[in-house]
Amino acid sequence: MPRIKTLILACLALLLAPALAQAQLTGTLSGPKFVEAAGIADRFEIEAGRLALEKSESPQIKIFATRLVADHTHALAGLKAAAAKADGQIVVPTALDAKHEVKIEQLKAATGADFDTLFVQMQTSVHDAAIGIFASFAKEGDQTALKDYAAQALPMLERHFEQVKQIQIRT
């Protein structure tokens, strides 16, 4: 009988582990971690948008990419100002992390319709993730200037998410 209980508990632990890990991942980031995530996201969006302007065959994607570059360039400037106001020690990243570098390399390697498909897929997933991070930080963040920034930037991210979903529907 103790073996069965142990086996049941082990199975429950395996089943619950992904849910617990996801709960930890969706928790609110600290101010410095939020700035890191937001800065990398903005830099990725700017670089991906520039690639789309160069490589895309879709007029809709090019229009979206133009807005993406402009909005995220503005957002990055706002992040720098908010980070300086929140705590002069918080540093906004000046480069992409390895994960986002890989995504950029994948975009660089793709051509034609494959590029457009990959670009739209990436934009959908990165904006979905960014919305979660920004919404959480805007609500529960630990630094007022950064919370205000997150709240101000959130509608732009939501707008981009809706726009890229419309492109996805059309393609």
What domains can you pick out in the chain, each with its CATH number?
A: 29-170 (1.20.1260.10)
What single-letter amino acid sits at 143? Q
Q: Give the pLDDT confidence of 85-105 residue by residue, as tens digits.
A: 997 789 999 999 999 999 999
First to last CA, the chain: 57
Among 6-15, 92-101, 104-113, the range scoring the smallest mean pLDDT is 6-15
Region of residue 112 (phi > 0: left; psi between -120 and 50: alpha; otherwise: beta) = left
Q: Mean per-residue pLDDT for 19-24?
A: 36
